[in-house]
Amino acid sequence: MIPAPSIPRWLQSSDPGWSTAADVIVVGSGIAGLSAALRLRQRVDRVLLVTKTVLDEGSTGWAQGGIAAAMDPKDSAEEHLRDTLVAGVGLCDPEAVRVLVTEGPTAVRELIELGAQFDRSASGEISLTREGGHHANRILHAGGDATGKEISRALIAALHRVIEDPGIEVIEHALVVDLLHTEDRRVCGVTLHVIGEGQVDGVGSAYARAVVLATGGLGQIYSATTNPPVATADGMAAALRAGAAIADLEFVQFHPTVLWLGEGSSGQQPLISEAVRGEGAFLVDACGERFMTAVHPLADLAPRDVVSRAIIAHMASAGTDHVFLDCRHLGAAFLEERFPSIVARCRELGFDPATQPLPVAPAQHYASGGIKTCLEGRSSLEGLYACGEVSCTGVHGANRLASNSLLEGLVFARRIAEDITTRFAAGELPLTTRAPRRGSQALVRGKRRLAIQRAMTAGSGTVRSARSLAAAAEALSSIKAASQHREGGPQSWETTNLLHVGQVLTYAAALREETRGGHVRSDFPERDDGHFLGHTVVARGEDDTLNASWHPVARQEGIT
């Protein structure tokens, strides 16, 4: 068994040189953060929205396939619920999924009213497509395969319409380093590093009655990911250091069809959306033989974990590092119209989906676990909320259903805004100041990032075993031991966050001795409901050692 890692309380940074205050601080400007900030500004006096680089940087802008919602009269929330529960392999919280699927259509309609333009048929109806794991056409898309870009554009345009309003302040190039809290762990603000001018420059403190973390995913923990460079798990790591509970971190979704660019290519890799398979493309081996038809009744549109696992098994038996996605029969004209961005990107990189099968392999795509929240988005720490990919609301279980994540950001941002408003009206969450910064601090050098990514990819990646996880844990703790230094800065803060979240992920993955959803163990290849039908929840203990607790769930009859 891997020893429980020790998690420090703070990142090393200089003392704050400036301070500000607001009612609510929203951290992150993806679908979750922008939706929360726009809604909150109509309800509380002062919202501060901070984002690490520029407003449109984050996973949201990269989303291709679309956003799932039962908008078709022939479809229903009940069917969306069922597909989501099946994809989550017994670990979705049915109440959270019910919230998602019943409030989803209204949230999407509001997004349309705000200005988001989804693709429509010649008769003006919203075009709905299908992706893996869905039994109905319920995916709205925009610009063919540029859904995230359009959603981000619409939300940022809405923000610009109110930017002069004194009720909202936006600070770009503001990296949140840590959460500020009182002695009794009530979150009351953040420390942040701003590359700015004048008084708001360098490390400062921002105080608030509530903090909403909407910092996105953790993809940069791995060598190859579809996530952009800002996805360095900062929010999750800050919450972990502050003592918040983190759930289901071992469930990492590896997208089955990421363009394979050759051995050793690393960083953000081009995604070939599941919607391409939704339109009829299929996976083949080097001989052109389809292999998904023998694996699952939905064949190439089986849930993502099933497809990824089948590809990995196929690659292992054939001794290769990729398979192929055949789209040729869809024709150049259709591909160019339906998937303009994907086709252009492939051609830029020397691949033509209209004339050749595309080499593809699984790569990290989505964190199904995260900061544990209730249905109102509250974390285990008073005053701290989490929204979007950084959170674990319970809607994804062991594996996210395609196109449910944009929807989750929208739906739970609404709920968080409502909850904060209600609590403020009841006089809860008063503004307070933090306790002095005491206790353990840490920092590793930015240049250790590649070593962390290599260790995580080899040991805690697509296929794990007790041996590989122990090797990853060992490598990560040697990086930690060898690389303490005192000069804080964005590179070293991000790298330290990757290290800590990587250690926790590896620890949680070692505890789950079964294969389920996004968690694949070669030494425990079967799902084991007898021992593992439940959630792994971890949190930093008083002595800084990570504590794990086990939360069994009921069997979902008729689903799993």
Ligand X SMILES: Cc1cc2nc3c(=O)[nH]c(=O)nc-3n(C[C@H](O)[C@H](O)[C@H](O)COP(=O)(O)OP(=O)(O)OC[C@H]3O[C@@H](n4cnc5c(N)ncnc54)[C@H](O)[C@@H]3O)c2cc1C
Question: Which residues are known to be catalytic?
Answer: 304
According to the binding rule CB under 6 A, does residue 156 interact with ligand X?
A: no
Q: Is 391 helix (H, G, I), strand (E, B) or coil?
A: strand
CB of 239 to ligand X, least distance (A): 11
According to the binding rule CB under 6 A, does residue 29 interact with ligand X?
A: yes
| Phi/psi-derived region of residue 429, left when phi > 0, alpha when psi is between -120 and 50, beta in every other case | left
Handedness of CA 224, 31, 306, 133 (dihedral sign): negative
Region 341-400 residues binding ligand X, contact defined as CB under 6 A: 366, 388-390
Number of shown-chain residues binding ligand X (CB under 6 A): 45
Which of 13, 20, 60, 460 binds ligand X (CB under 6 A)? It is 60
Q: What angle do CA 423, 413, 196 make, to 5 degrees?
A: 95
Among candidate residues 162, 136, 234, 231, the one with its CA nearest the CA of residue 191: 234
CB–CB of 228/59 below 8 Å?
yes
Q: What is the DSSP code string of 142-166?
A: STTT-HHHHHHHHHHHHHHHTTTST
- Residue 120 per-residue DSSP state: B
CB of 412 to ligand X, least distance (A): 10
- Specify the stretch interacting with ligand X by CB under 6 A; choose among 45-53, 84-92, 468-476, 517-525: 45-53
Q: Is 183 helix (H, G, I), strand (E, B) or coil?
A: coil
CA distance 408 to 165: 28
For ligand X, the closer CB: 235 or 517: 235
According to the binding rule CB under 6 A, does residue 483 interact with ligand X?
A: no
For ligand X, the closer CB: 242 or 469: 242
CB–CB of 339/145 below 8 Å?
yes
Which of 11, 32, 302, 501 binds ligand X (CB under 6 A)? It is 32
Which of 28, 90, 243, 370 binds ligand X (CB under 6 A)? It is 28
CB of 183 to ligand X, least distance (A): 24
According to the binding rule CB under 6 A, does residue 13 interact with ligand X?
A: no
Among candidate residues 485, 389, 474, 402, the one with its CA nearest the CA of residue 442: 485
CB of 32 to ligand X, least distance (A): 3
According to the binding rule CB under 6 A, does residue 33 interact with ligand X?
A: yes
For ligand X, the closer CB: 256 or 469: 256
According to the binding rule CB under 6 A, does residue 63 interact with ligand X?
A: yes
Q: If 0-12 CB within 10 Å is exposed, 13-18 middle and 19+ buried, where does residue 493 land?
A: buried
CB–CB of 206/190 below 8 Å?
yes
Among candidate residues 75, 70, 100, the one with its CA nearest the CA of residue 85: 100
CB of 532 to ligand X, least distance (A): 25
CB of 277 to ligand X, least distance (A): 13
CA distance 212 to 235: 10
Which of 67, 100, 246, 473 binds ligand X (CB under 6 A)? It is 67
Cross-strand bridge partners of residue 205: 19, 191
According to the binding rule CB under 6 A, does residue 66 interact with ligand X?
A: yes
Region 210-249 residues binding ligand X, contact defined as CB under 6 A: 214-217, 226-227, 230, 234-235
Region 391-430 residues binding ligand X, contact defined as CB under 6 A: 403-406, 409
How many of the other CB atoms lie within 10 Å of CB of 410? 28
According to the binding rule CB under 6 A, does residue 30 interact with ligand X?
A: yes
From residue 101, alpha-carbon distances to 67, 130, 411 in Å are: 12, 16, 9
According to the binding rule CB under 6 A, does residue 556 interact with ligand X?
A: no
Which of 129, 147, 441, 495 binds ligand X (CB under 6 A)? It is 147
CB of 274 to ligand X, least distance (A): 8
According to the binding rule CB under 6 A, does residue 137 interact with ligand X?
A: no
Reported residue count of the chain is 560
For ligand X, the closer CB: 35 or 536: 35
Which of 88, 144, 148, 517 binds ligand X (CB under 6 A)? It is 148
Q: At what angle do helices 94-114 and 77-87 cross, to 10 degrees?
A: 120
- Specify the stretch interacting with ligand X by CB under 6 A; choose among 44-52, 106-114, 117-125, 333-341: 44-52
CB–CB of 404/100 below 8 Å?
yes
Which of 20, 22, 37, 65 binds ligand X (CB under 6 A)? It is 65
Q: What is the DSSP code string of 499-538?
A: HHHHHHHHHHHHH--S-BTTB-BSSS-S--HHHH-EEEEE
According to the binding rule CB under 6 A, does residue 62 interact with ligand X?
A: yes
Q: What angle do CA 367, 372, 373 make, to 5 degrees?
A: 120
Which of 19, 53, 127, 182 binds ligand X (CB under 6 A)? It is 53
Place of tokens 């307070």: 432
Beta strand 47-50 with 168-171: parallel, antiparallel or unpaired?
parallel
| Per-residue mark of binding to ligand X, 191-210 (x: CB under 6 A) | --------------------
Phi, psi of 529 (to 5 degrees): -65, -25
For ligand X, the closer CB: 201 or 513: 201
CB of 387 to ligand X, least distance (A): 7
According to the binding rule CB under 6 A, does residue 83 interact with ligand X?
A: no
Q: Is 382 helix (H, G, I), strand (E, B) or coil?
A: coil
Q: Is 451 helix (H, G, I), strand (E, B) or coil?
A: helix
Which of 24, 27, 108, 456 binds ligand X (CB under 6 A)? It is 27
According to the binding rule CB under 6 A, does residue 24 interact with ligand X?
A: no
Query: Where does this chain bind ligand X (CB under 6 A)?
Result: 27-33, 50-53, 57-60, 62-67, 147-148, 174-176, 214-217, 226-227, 230, 234-235, 271, 366, 388-390, 403-406, 409
